[in-house]
């Protein structure tokens, strides 16, 4: 008889582990998962460690680092790792941990739920089953498992606040889906581990995510420079269109010339920023603005935070954003 795969479950709180309190749903201890785990133990050898007990809106870069350190230390002893996490910031955490753990050789799967496990119709048990199946697959990488689908952590975006199909894989195929055939993995969608496993946990919190709006004051770029920001991710219009009239271009130029790395993504979720199409984009490229291409805003921001945390220069960061590290970007040949 084949041995059961040994899976580590790290709990961090979130809706999946919530119960009703006097002021609404509150994260509880990992013990709230006991009933769901009893069934899963028929198929897997499970170790549970309560790492955090937080609403995911309170999970910050310090918690990303804690999760990454725990995963790196535990990975050699387990076949895979499941991390339960609140849905609101799961895409940020999964993307950040992806960059913090280059060369990862084991499956690390984030999951959560839209309804607490204490609710009769919770989606939590199904999401846990999918996450554990992916964690036992032996396929290396950081993933998000939700609503019978598995996606790369650096491609996941929360697109719905209450529907069970909360997450979608943006600009990338799903890594796996659940069907009558079980967990069906698309190995062509999997990243290739780069080198030996490493823990590179340092991130910079001096990165600002800016959504471009018509008439946005260019003074924002001077203000961000004065506030000490070292990176800006701009969600621009369409293919990367931005206001470059008047002081708009001067504000961006001032930011870049002061050493700030400026990355442009698009507000169009299912597309790519291409600054080479229109004259306004060409003007930005000439200033040294970096194309985010088809990266999600979550991936662009965490990749920039991570790059700055590795003390990369502005030129090194620009070169890094031309590379696909873990499936986060489609690089043209």
Backbone phi, then psi, for 23, in 5-degree steps?
Answer: -120, 20
Mean residue pLDDT across the chain = 90
- N-to-C CA span, the chain: 47
pLDDT tens, position by position, 230-262: 999 999 886 555 554 445 678 888 999 999 999
Confidence band, pLDDT 50/70/90 cuts, at residue 278: very low
Q: What is the largest CA-CA distance in the chain?
A: 72
Whose tokens are 């946990």? That residue is 201
Q: 31-66: per-residue pLDDT in tens?
A: 778 878 999 999 999 999 999 999 999 999 999 999
Distance CA 92, CA 305 (A): 11
The pLDDT score that the predictor gives to residue 276 is: 52
Q: What count of residues does the chain have?
A: 333
- CB count within 10 Å of CB 22 equals 5
3-state SS class at 256: helix
| Residues facing residue 171 across a β-bridge | none
Q: Compute the CA torsion angle 207, 71, 112, 80 (nearest 10 deg).
A: 140
Domains of the chain: 5-189 (3.40.50.1170), 207-320 (3.40.50.40)
**CA 90, 95, 99, 105 torsion: positive or negative?**
positive
Active-site hit among 15, 111, 130, 266: 15
pTM above 0.85, yes or no: yes
- Residue 42's SS3 state is coil
Record the tokens describing residue 192, joined without a space. Answer: 């290739």
Is the CB of residue 97 less than 8 Å from the CB of residue 142?
A: yes
Where do we find the tokens 């946005």? 216
Single out the residue of 330, 268, 320, 323 nearest to residue 295, CA to CA. Answer: 330
Catalytic-residue membership of 15: yes
Tokens of 126: 């199904």
């Amino acid at each position: 008889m084949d041995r059961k795969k040994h899976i580590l479950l790290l709990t961090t709180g979130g809706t999946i582990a919530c119960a009703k309190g006097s002021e609404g749903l509150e994260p509880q201890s990992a013990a709230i998962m006991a009933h769901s785990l009893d069934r899963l133990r028929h198929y897997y050898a499970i170790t549970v460690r309560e790492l955090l007990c937080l609403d995911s809106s309170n999970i910050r870069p310090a918690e990303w680092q804690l999760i990454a350190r725990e995963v790196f230390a535990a990975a050699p002893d387990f076949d895979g790792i499941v991390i339960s996490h609140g849905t609101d910031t799961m895409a940020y955490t999964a993307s950040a941990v992806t960059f913090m753990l280059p060369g990862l050789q084991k499956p690390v799967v984030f999951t959560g739920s839209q309804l607490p496990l204490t609710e009769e119709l919770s989606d939590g048990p199904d999401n846990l089953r999918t996450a554990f199946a992916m964690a036992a697959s032996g396929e290396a990488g950081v993933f998000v498992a939700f609503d019978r689908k598995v996606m790369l952590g650096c491609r996941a975006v929360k697109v719905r606040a209450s529907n069970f199909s909360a997450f979608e894989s943006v600009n990338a195929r799903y890594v796996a889906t659940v069907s009558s055939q079980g967990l069906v993995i698309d190995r062509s969608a999997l990243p290739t581990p780069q080198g030996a496993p490493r823990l590179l946990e340092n991130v910079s919190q001096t990165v600002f995510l800016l959504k471009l709006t018509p008439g946005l004051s260019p003074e924002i770029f001077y203000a961000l420079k004065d506030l000490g920001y070292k990176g800006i991710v701009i969600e621009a219009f369409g293919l990367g269109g931005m206001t470059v009239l008047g002081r708009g271009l001067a504000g961006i130029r001032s930011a870049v010339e002061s050493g700030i790395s400026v990355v442009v993504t698009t507000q169009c979720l299912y597309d790519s920023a291409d600054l080479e199409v229109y004259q306004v984009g060409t003007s930005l490229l000439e200033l040294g603005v970096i194309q985010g291409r088809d990266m999600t805003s979550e991936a662009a921001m965490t990749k920039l935070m991570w790059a700055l945390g590795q003390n990369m220069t502005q030129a090194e960061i620009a070169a890094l954003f031309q590379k696909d590290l873990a499936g986060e970007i489609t690089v043209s040949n």
